[in-house]
Amino acid sequence: MWAYILRRTLLMIPTIFGVLLLTFALFNLVAKDPARVVAGRNATPEVIEATRAKMGLNKPAFFNPAATTRPVAITSGPLAGTTRDKSTLERVGAFFDSRFFDLARFKFPNSIRSDRPVMEIIREKAPVSLAIQVPAFLISLGAQLAIALFVASRRGSGIDVSVTLLCVASLAVPSLSLYIAFQWLLGAKLQLFPVAGWETGIYAIQYAALPIVCAVFLSLGAGVRFYRTVVLEEVSADYIRTARAKGVSEVDTMLVHVLRNVMIPVVTNTVTALPFLMFGAIISERLFQIPGLGGLLVEAVFNQDHGVVMAVTYITAVFYCLALLLSDICYTLADPRVSLR
Amino acid sequence: MCLVKMIKSLFFAYLALIVLTVTAYAVSRVYTNPRDPETLYTTYLGSIRSFDPVSIADVISSDIAGHFYECLYNYKYGGRTDELIPQLAAAMPEVSADGLTYTFPIRPGIHFFDPQKQIWDDGVGPEVTAHDIVYSWKRMADFHSAAPSYSTVLQDNVVGLDEFRAYTEKTDEGKVDYDRPVEGLVARDAHTLVVKLSRPVPNFVQLTAYLGLAATSRESVEKLAAKGQSLRERPIGTGPYGVIDYKPEQRIVLVANPAYRGRPDINPAEGAKLSATERLPHIQRIQFDYMPESLPPWYLFLQGRYDAMGIPKETFAQAITPERTLRPDFAARGINLKIDEDPGLYFLQFNMTDAVVGKNKALREAIALSIDRENFIRIYLNGRGIAGTGILPPDAPLYDKDYVGPFNRFDLAAAKLKVAEAKIAAGGKLPTLKLQMQDSDTDQRQYAEFLCAGFRAAGLDVKPEYNTYARYLEKLDAKEYQIAYGGWYPDYPDEKTYLRLFDATLAKPPGSNTTGYVNAVYQEKLERALVMPPSKERDALYLELAKIVDTDLPITPVFFPLRYRLRYDWVGNAKPPVFTQGFYAHWTLDTEKRRKALLGR
């Protein structure tokens, strides 16, 4: 297994590098000079240059050969005030002192909009997104599985047909419409939940509730349909018929035998969803004014805040690759027949 | 068996999670964070880039920061848009006969306010002196500050300041010596600032009211830097309020400055004599919630959770009648409507260096005549605008609501005749023209479709091109466009801010003359007007210049925006601020009336 993990980890490097290259190229094509926007419409070349320097955009795109020969200033000791040549290691470092390799080292430029380090913003906003996404995900996962097991055990019945129809209908509802409708009905009219906003501490729960309700409601259709299909495949398997022939109760059959064997798709779905939990729900955070990463991403796209968009894209790619690796490992736990080689 | 137990445990854990969530929700509802009765609640729509005055260049940040920073002068609240009052300055400056030396007296007894007690234990900083003003202006000149307004406000104006800037560019950030003398910027004593200009700048006093030149304390900047912080997120100023809580993209809470002198234009000693009702600020706390979407704050406003707000486009008809009055059900709830002129101008601009558009005046005239401005405003702005009939908008002191430029009107028949004329001038046929838009969002697409439909009706073929804002600016700078939709927000209340859009000396990038308009007669008159002190002669010259532009048509105005604002009747003395900094200090809040009105809601 360790050899497999090592192999997969090594394979992640070119994948992440590819994502990084693509993201970097894309954003450098879209906005040749974001400093021009930040500096303002009438900024002089000097102001633009100062802004560029402040944003770290005065470095070359990929490689910095000019920096390799630049001497290093000595700031302390008897030779203070003089300069010395760079060592070989320093030269290598200077050669890669570029915007692309800054990005690869998670050294992101400041956000154009807020002029703050992107990592600082991510650290501040990730817990808020998680406070909405984790409960929403856990509640929906449990509800999806429970409903899927229930309707699958009654395949073809009125309940099964009704639930399937409801699921298809809910898939047809655009999420934005549902958010707005829930916000208006449950927040503005019935005043069951605050319409929008955020507080810290225990007060956060009341603001998180409506986005969680919406997220759970929206995920049910697709989730129940998916897990129902998976469960039905298992329900028609020989071992289930055997279990039933042995007189195992329907509840035990579904919960013990079927549920365990549908764990692989559950694990895949769960683990690969983890990176996206951190980055929040893009639409709901903006509509409910939750100061999380989803809202940040929308804001960044609207404001052409490329530092933030690049950082979020890159970090998501890294987490996604890690999540895929983790899901492979989890397969072995969920199903002893799977072994990693 | 073990597996069964595990699954059962999972099932009960899941149930427990649901129960816990519901209980926690109920508890949080019961212990709802109470709304402070003394606080005015309102919203802001865009994220704040920085609260460091030298970095502020947008209206939203500037509107809020104007409550905790003060400049030497401010615009009078509720007065004419160009009426200045001395703020940190004790009086208007003494100006030398040649107009090059300004001596500003600084008010004694004003102290920096640090409500979070980050720098000074009691929250009260040292007295503001002329040295603080010198320091603040040098900060703006510092290359590392990358102050976007430096070129508008100080560059080429103050003797020796550009050299100081050149020095900072060569010096590492953090090692700049702010004690380095600048010939034109001297604190003669603690309460006298002397500024020497390198050329006459008749509106220099107006420039000193620019928020970027607000007083900041060197001690606070340096102590914050030592803690890895800055004024960007920990602002410290001298204004009527201070920032007690700032959560980026969430909330800004301002608290009244207890040591504030009571009015911007008096000394603290005089402020002590003011009665409680005269003393500013009237409202003790202001909470700004970040609400980038328009509907949620609207619902909250209707619930009485916000005291004032604008009207979202989507709900305009819910609140306003077709006659542009407030609907009776809103009035019955104690809501008032205020309609104010919003500074600024939106227009179509022409590339005067373009072989087709720039050289064919009849074509520009045809385009100007084919814009149905009234319908544009009615359809896309819910009527929230005034048809742009000249380049001077309502915030310009010389604005004349009855003036109509020769071609800035909708006349399709005249436009068709001009198209025929333009075709002859172009040698028989006009190519397809391109209209550059600033973005690709729905608004910009709708505007472009409407405008192009008007051009089509006049016999012109114009295709819109949607850009990112960065690309749009690049095209303007490089003059790689024919027609572009654009706007201009004034830097100060003087016609000059609009007239300089056609200054030939600013025709090269990144100058503000992005049309590339060059007219020797205009330029001669403009240069004369720029150095003239305010007078009737200058006004006449300004109007003459505006007429030249309206005739030559490097731009054709589309509309001047109007702001519709709703306020509950417990909010008082809310006047259009336009350029006034710290305007909420003048607002009043009848907390008892609000409490009674919101009972049962």
DSSP B396-445: STT--TT---TT-S--HHHHHHHHHHHHHHTTS--PPEEEEES--SHHHH
Alpha-carbon span B140 to A45, nearest angstrom:
16
The residue among B143, B165, B250, B440 with the most chain A CBs within 10 A of its CB, best to mutate, is B250
Least confident piece of the model among A76-85, A158-167, B332-341, B396-405: A76-85
Contact B299 A195 (CB under 8 A): yes
pLDDT at B559: 97
Any idea of the CA torsion for B308, B312, B315, B317, to the nearest 10 degrees? 90
Alpha-carbon span B439 to A293, nearest angstrom:
24
Q: Does B25 touch chain A (CB under 8 A)?
A: yes
Number of C-alpha atoms within 13 angstroms, CB side, residue A273? 18
Residue B299: list chain A partners with CB under 8 A.
183-184, 187-188, 195-196
Residue of B nearest to A212 (CA): B21
B392 near B495, Cβ under 8 Å? yes
Distance between B467 CA and the closest CA of chain A, angstroms: 10
Written as six digits, the tokens of B8 are: 């059962």
∠ CA B107-B109-B110, nearest 5°, is 75
Q: Does B299 touch chain A (CB under 8 A)?
A: yes
Q: Tell me, what DSSP letter sits at residue A194? A: -
Any idea of the CA torsion for B517, B149, B291, A27, to the nearest 10 degrees? 70
Which of A224, A180, A204 has the alpha carbon at shortest distance from A132? A204
Query: Is residue B110's pLDDT more than 80?
Result: yes
- Give chain B's mean pLDDT: 91
Phi, psi (degrees; rounded to nearest 5) at B197: -95, 150
pLDDT at A11: 83
pLDDT in tens, B453-506: 999 999 999 999 998 777 788 888 889 999 999 999 887 888 988 999 999 988
A290 near A198, Cβ under 8 Å? yes
pLDDT at B447: 96
Choose between B397 and A34: higher pLDDT: B397
Query: Is residue B29's pLDDT more than 70?
Result: no
Query: Is residue B542's pLDDT more than 90?
Result: yes
Contact A116 B292 (CB under 8 A): no
pLDDT in tens, B467-480: 877 778 888 888 99
Any idea of the CA torsion for B497, B502, B504, B509, to the nearest 10 degrees? 80
Mean pLDDT by 10 residues, chain A (341 residues): 79 86 78 70 73 77 77 72 76 80 83 80 89 89 88 88 91 89 92 88 86 90 90 86 86 80 80 72 87 85 80 85 81 68 64
Three-state SS letters, B167-217: HHHHCCCCCCCCCCCECCEEEEECCEEEEEECCCCCCHHHHCCCHHHCCCC
Of A54, A114, A142, the CB nearest to B248: A114
∠ CA B317-B321-B325, nearest 5°, is 125
> What is the distance, to the nearest Å, from the Cα of residue B320 to the centroid of all Cα atoms in its chain?
26
The residue among A28, A37, A47 with the most chain B CBs within 10 A of its CB, best to mutate, is A47
Q: Tell me, what DSSP letter sits at residue A256? A: I
pLDDT at A315: 86
Contact B4 A256 (CB under 8 A): yes
Which of A40, A50, A37 has the alpha carbon at shortest distance from B149? A40
pLDDT at B600: 61
pLDDT in tens, B248-296: 888 999 999 999 999 999 999 998 899 988 999 999 999 999 998 889 9
Of B7, B47, B295, the CB nearest to A259: B7
pLDDT at B529: 93
List, as ranges, residues 227-266 from B with C-beta within 8 Å of A.
232-233, 247-250
The residue among A41, A55, A198 with the most chain B CBs within 10 A of its CB, best to mutate, is A41
Alpha-carbon span B594 to B573, nearest angstrom:
16
Helix (H, G, I), strand (E, B) or coil at B575: coil
Query: Is residue B1's pLDDT more than 60?
Result: no
pLDDT exceeding 70 applies to what percent of chain B? Answer: 97
Which of B41, B56, B390, B445 has the alpha carbon at shortest distance from B237? B56
pLDDT at B551: 97
Phi, psi (degrees; rounded to nearest 5) at B392: -95, 115
A91 near A71, Cβ under 8 Å? no
Beta bridge partners of B75: B84
β-pairing verdict for A72-73 and B124-127: unpaired
Residue of B nearest to A128 (CA): B250
Contact B28 A205 (CB under 8 A): yes
* Most distant CA pair in chain A, distance: 90
pLDDT at A30: 63
CB pairs under 8 A between A and B: 170
Contact A36 B474 (CB under 8 A): yes
Helix (H, G, I), strand (E, B) or coil at B349: strand
Written as six digits, the tokens of B201 are: 């700048």
Residues 6+ apart with CB under 8 A from B456: B462
pLDDT at B31: 65
The residue among A37, A42, A266 with the most chain B CBs within 10 A of its CB, best to mutate, is A42
Can you say whether residue B340 is alpha, beta or left, with left for phi > 0 and alpha for psi between -120 and 50 degrees?
Answer: beta
Contact A54 B146 (CB under 8 A): yes
Angle, in degrees to the nearest 10, between helices A203-235 and A158-172: 130
Alpha-carbon span B265 to B554, nearest angstrom:
42
Can you say whether residue B99 is alpha, beta or left, with left for phi > 0 and alpha for psi between -120 and 50 degrees?
Answer: left
pLDDT at B490: 85
Residue A40: list chain B partners with CB under 8 A.
57, 148-149
Helix (H, G, I), strand (E, B) or coil at B456: helix
By CB atoms closer than 10 A (0-12, 13-18, 19+), residue B536 is exposed
Phi, psi (degrees; rounded to nearest 5) at B5: -60, -40
∠ CA B307-B308-B309, nearest 5°, is 140
Query: Is residue B73's pLDDT more than 90?
Result: yes
B159 near B181, Cβ under 8 Å? no
β-pairing verdict for A83-84 and A72-73: antiparallel
Query: Is residue B4's pLDDT more than 80?
Result: no
Query: Is residue B416's pLDDT more than 80?
Result: yes
Of A37, A205, A260, the CB nearest to B25: A205
pLDDT at A338: 66
Distance between B190 CA and the closest CA of chain A, angstroms: 31
Q: What's the distance, Cα to Cα, between the start and end of chain B in Å? A: 55
pLDDT at A31: 62
Query: Is residue B191's pLDDT more than 70?
Result: yes
Phi, psi (degrees; rounded to nearest 5) at B52: -80, 120
Q: What separation in angstroms does the CA of A75 have from each of A46, A57, A82, A282, B167?
A: 28, 26, 8, 48, 20
Contact B296 A180 (CB under 8 A): no
Distance between A226 CA and the closest CA of chain B, angstroms: 20
Alpha-carbon span B244 to B176, nearest angstrom:
30
Choose between B585 and B576: higher pLDDT: B585
Residue B144: list chain A partners with CB under 8 A.
50, 53-54
Residue B13: list chain A partners with CB under 8 A.
none
pLDDT at A224: 92
